[in-house]
Amino acid sequence: MGRKFSDAVLNGDLTYTSIVNSESRTQKMAVAVIHFFNHQTHHRDQLTTLLNQCGLDCGVTDLIWMPEMDI
């Protein structure tokens, strides 16, 4: 079962250490969640493009057309 974020959690902070320069950073959790979703779509596009250039058909990659998941 997927985790559900409450308004309190999404309005809270996420503190982490950057792997780019080892500095501690704090962002609003809602902003971080939006970033994580957006960033994974960027990498999914990169991967499917590379596979396509190698002649491989990845099939449908739109989440709405993928099999339903129990979330």
pTM: 0.61
Smallest CA-to-CA distance from 40 within 15, 11, 58, 61 is with 61
Q: What pLDDT, on the 0 to 100 scale, is given for residue 64? A: 76
pLDDT value for 41: 85
Average the pLDDT over 59-67 and give the result. 75
**Angstrom distance (rounded) from CA 14 to CA 30:** 9
pLDDT above 90 for 17:
yes
Report pLDDT for 55.
95
pLDDT in tens, 37-61: 888 888 888 999 999 999 998 887 7
